[in-house]
Amino acid sequence: MEEIVKMKQVEEKIIIIRGQSVILDSDVAELYGVETKEVNKAVKINPGVSGRIYP
């Protein structure tokens, strides 16, 4: 059974860099229970999608 990622878990991972809200690839991997290289692979396959998650 898949575990749902709670909003609070996501919010705790958000950091501000140069005025932009970001989540590190390692934190995304931790939230989804995958390796960091899998997150990076997904970003390379879908380059325009990852930046649209947060305004």
Per-residue pLDDT band for 19 (boundaries 50, 70, 90) equals very high
Per-residue pLDDT band for 25 (boundaries 50, 70, 90) equals very high
Identify the pLDDT of residue 53: 52
Residue 54 pLDDT > 50, yes or no? no
Percent of the chain exceeding pLDDT 90 equals 47
pTM > 0.75 = no
CA dihedral 19, 20, 23, 25 (to 10 degrees): -110
Distance CA(1)–CA(31), nearest Å, equals: 15
